[in-house]
Chain A
């Protein structure tokens, strides 16, 4: 009996060692460090080529906001915001006193001071020293339609997702369960939650666009529905004469937006977060 148990344990031990050892050996022999150097080099260039083409293939829509054209003209900002609100049936939610209810506010495109928009560059008045123009004017802010959108990563129902055709971070309100993970994830505060039925707070409907219901999150969609008709986004159209907002394909070197980006010095909101925003600012 003793002898049997002894031989059984030996066999079991050897089998276990072989089981653990085989995958490790296979892994080591296939890793680049052990592989033939010629193959290794070929694999690496192949990888790079794939990365290159991936980087520039397809359409990635983006926007350049030329803030210089908005300075000293708050009416122009309001015009842009109003055009968006009208096009998308965005409610203006007011509290009992008729003031904008900041808690339930719905924003697709809105204005905010420099400190809020470029918070990481502001740091502190004593350190940052922004110019007087920048400090005194409001900035246009909207969803950045990031290349690496944090909101999409956290959405449990894929209600927010990236449209493969154009890189728009889109919303499917039919799927939104109102968990607000995306609002926590978005570093730009670009998402709003419908705390109440928005309909009583909409003064006039755009008949070609739905409203939202209580309990869903909404945000700018780069006017996907207007692009399908060959139109420009509502905000771009609102200030078309001054060309203050340029919209186009960031991946196409010939596009107008790329020309502007090549000519002007632009900044993005909080690029250090690694979200790769598609909205650029000339300040």
Chain B
């Protein structure tokens, strides 16, 4: 191997820099977020907890396509209640605190879903109502 003296230290420096964020945090990802359960005390969602955790984004996309493009706006039953398909109509009716529910995890994993550029969080709606 030519230039062994340069390449090996170079690789060591590269690996150190590339993994620096991990070292810096002491190989810990910080405390995992705990999204707030519905303040209203609802216990049953439209799907089991595990499914919602891993698949809620898929479900929202399906709802979107069904409601907007296929005209299937039938309500979704859960625990004797019926929820109309939609982020504002279904999800936020129980999970009224976006900061403590949606953002808790999304901020932790650094994803920025574009839902909120159009859809209204309950806090947005309340803020407008207070104004004269």
Contacts and interface: CB of A to CB of B under 8 A. Distances in A.
Given A204-B129, A212-B118, A163 B71 contact: yes
B71 A211 contact: no
Contacts of B125: 205, 207
A210 B73 contact: no
Interface in B45-81: 64, 68-69, 71, 73
Q: Which secondary structure characterizes the binding site on chain A? A: loop
B121 to A, nearest CB: 10
Interface in A162-215: 163-166, 170, 172-174, 199, 202-205, 207-213
Contact of B117 (A89, A163, A209, A213): A213
A114 to B, nearest CB: 35
A161 interface: yes
Nearest to A204: B128
Contact of A202 (B69, B114, B117, B128): B128
A166 B71 contact: yes
Interface residues of A, number: 25
Nearest to A215: B117
Contacts of B124: 199, 205
A56 B78 CA distance: 39
Interface in A200-237: 202-205, 207-213, 224-225, 228
Contacts, number: 46
A224 B89 CA distance: 15
> Chain B CB within 10 Å — which of A161, A165, A207 has the most?
A207
Nearest to B115: A210
Interface in B100-132: 114, 117-120, 122, 124-125, 128-129, 131
A265 to B, nearest CB: 33
B68 A208 contact: no
A171 to B, nearest CB: 8
B88 interface: yes
Contacts of A213: 114, 117-118
Given A207-B88, A207-B120, A208-B88, A165 B128 contact: no
Contacts of B129: 204-205
Contact of A211 (B69, B89, B120, B131): B120
A205 B73 CA distance: 22
Contacts of B89: 208
Nearest to B132: A203
A84 B64 CA distance: 22
A170 B68 contact: yes
Interface of B: 64, 68-69, 71, 73, 88-89, 114, 117-120, 122, 124-125, 128-129, 131
23 contacts: A89-B120, A161-B69, A170-B69, A172-B68, A172-B69, A173-B118, A203-B128, A203-B131, A204-B128, A204-B129, A205-B120, A207-B88, A207-B120, A207-B122, A208-B88, A209-B88, A210-B118, A211-B119, A211-B120, A212-B118, A213-B117, A224-B71, A228-B71
